[in-house]
Amino acid sequence: MVRRFGLDYDNGGDWLPISLPGTVAKVFKKVDMKIILAAPRGFCAGVEMAIESLRMAIDAFPPPIYVYHEIVHNKFVVEHFESEGVIFLEDLSTIPRGATLLFSAHGVSPEIRQQAKARDLRAIDATCPLVTKVHLEAIRYAKQGRTIVLIGHDGHDEVIGTMGEAPEAILLVETPEDVDRLQVAEPGNLAYLTQTTLSVDDANRVISRLRDRFPEIQGPPKDDICYATQNRQEAVRILADEADFVLVIGSQNSSNSQRLTDIGRECQTPSKLIDGVGDIQDSWFEDVKTVLITAGASAPESLVQDVCRYLEKTFGAVIDERSIRTEEVTFPLPRELRGTGAKL
Ligand code: SF4
């Protein structure tokens, strides 16, 4: 027997207490599938701020609005803004002088800021403050004359931006094996930083290898892996054991969504990363009684709800929302947008 909602019920996965609309009463209902809906999930404070910034820019400035990189790594969010005329690009050279340009939540290098200035662009910086914090740490360590080992994924927008702060001083590693291969001129004068959206466990393995090899290496006073990444990962770690299948809603190029999928698999639970309900294959759910659903930090809640509705309709699923922590983080809008009537 398991006790939940203040009631005991058979743990066969077949019977759940269900709320009766408009009353506090619950009845037991036989269900074919249970959804454990993890919380926290989905949008983080940085993504909320970046998306609101883009909405505000669309309202406040003449079209088109340009965005350097995807505003956040989510296909649906990007397609939605494209349908409103926003142009996402990776090269500033085609933007007309004087146009409005947003820097995405992942941040940019000083070189891109310079290019924007040289083209007289109205630049709005929607970089997440937790990414900016890593940039400032990189600048500080570089000024101290240290070589910085950045733990991150090669080619990720955030990594490119951070490395651009001190390109001669930063070396990129992804794995403990990369640490073994590192060649540094002054082993006693190193510091490390991490990308904000790594797997906490993977990053700790790399940091531990760095500390073994370079005992004097300095690190940031507090972890660079952001609160949202950590909370979403912890929820999957805690809840995946209760599930037969993990569905992560997020795009393939979303680092934090990929890590949630990895964690599901590390917990020995089959796991899939999907953009939305259209990617679901019913064959995944043969013999599946409990599905854990979560969403990466850039995935809109509407996509999660679409998936839940589909599983309810197709498999008679019933939702059990489980929160491991409450998040109350908000970030201010970029200063270029303050006073334009924005809500954040
Ligand atoms: S995932 Fe973390 S670092 Fe990235 S935008 Fe969200 S809060 Fe900021």
The residue ranges of every structural domain in the chain are 1-28, 45-127, 130-213
pLDDT score of 28: 59
Q: How many CA atoms lie within 13 A of 302 on its CB side?
A: 4
pLDDT score of 223: 78
Mutate to test the pocket of ligand 1, among 43, 44, 198 (most ligand atoms within 8 A of CB): 44
pLDDT, tens digit, for every residue of 209-262? Answer: 999 999 999 999 877 999 999 999 999 999 999 999 999 999 999 999 999 999
pLDDT score of 8: 42
Q: Along the 344 residues of the chain, how does pLDDT read in single tens digits?
A: 444 444 444 444 455 666 666 666 666 565 789 999 999 999 999 999 999 999 999 999 999 999 999 999 999 999 999 999 999 999 999 999 999 999 999 999 999 999 999 999 999 999 999 999 999 999 999 999 999 999 999 999 999 999 999 999 999 999 999 999 999 999 999 999 999 999 999 999 999 999 999 999 999 987 799 999 999 999 999 999 999 999 999 999 999 999 999 999 999 999 999 999 999 999 999 999 999 999 999 999 999 999 999 999 999 999 999 999 999 999 999 999 987 655 54
* 254 CB near ligand 1 (under 6 Å): no
In the reported structure, the alpha carbon of residue 229 is separated from the centroid of ligand 1 by a whole-number distance in angstroms of: 7
* 198 CB near ligand 1 (under 6 Å): no
| 82, two tokens | 């494209």
pLDDT score of 222: 78
- Atom 7 in ligand 1: residue holding the nearest Cα: 46
pLDDT score of 10: 44
* 42 CB near ligand 1 (under 6 Å): no
DSSP per-residue letters across 5-70: TTEEE-TTSSEEEEEPTTSS-EEEEE-SEEEEEEES-S--HHHHHHHHHHHHHHHHSPSPEEEES-
Do 45-127 and 130-213 agree at the fold level? Answer: no
Catalytic residues: 158
List Cβ neighbours of 84 (8 Å cut-off, separation of 6 or more).
58
Residue pair 307/280 in contact (Cβ under 8 Å)? The answer is yes
Ligand 1: nearest atom to the Cα of 129? 8
pLDDT, tens digit, for every residue of 175-217? Answer: 999 999 999 999 999 999 999 999 999 999 999 999 999 999 9
Evaluated on CA atoms 231, 160, 180, 192, the torsion sign reads negative
Architecture of domain 130-213: 3-Layer(aba) Sandwich (3.40)
pLDDT score of 2: 41
Model's pTM, two decimal places? 0.89
* 128 CB near ligand 1 (under 6 Å): yes
List Cβ neighbours of 122 (8 Å cut-off, separation of 6 or more).
61, 98, 99, 100, 101, 336
Residue pair 261/295 in contact (Cβ under 8 Å)? The answer is no
DSSP per-residue letters across 282-305: GGGGTT--EEEEEE-TTS-HHHHH
In the reported structure, the alpha carbon of residue 318 is separated from the centroid of ligand 1 by a whole-number distance in angstroms of: 31
* Integer Cα distance of 169 and 141 in angstroms: 9
* 226 CB near ligand 1 (under 6 Å): yes
Fold of 45-127: Rossmann fold (3.40.50)
Ligand 1: nearest atom to the Cα of 47? 5
Strand-pair category, 170-173 with 147-151? parallel
* 47 CB near ligand 1 (under 6 Å): yes
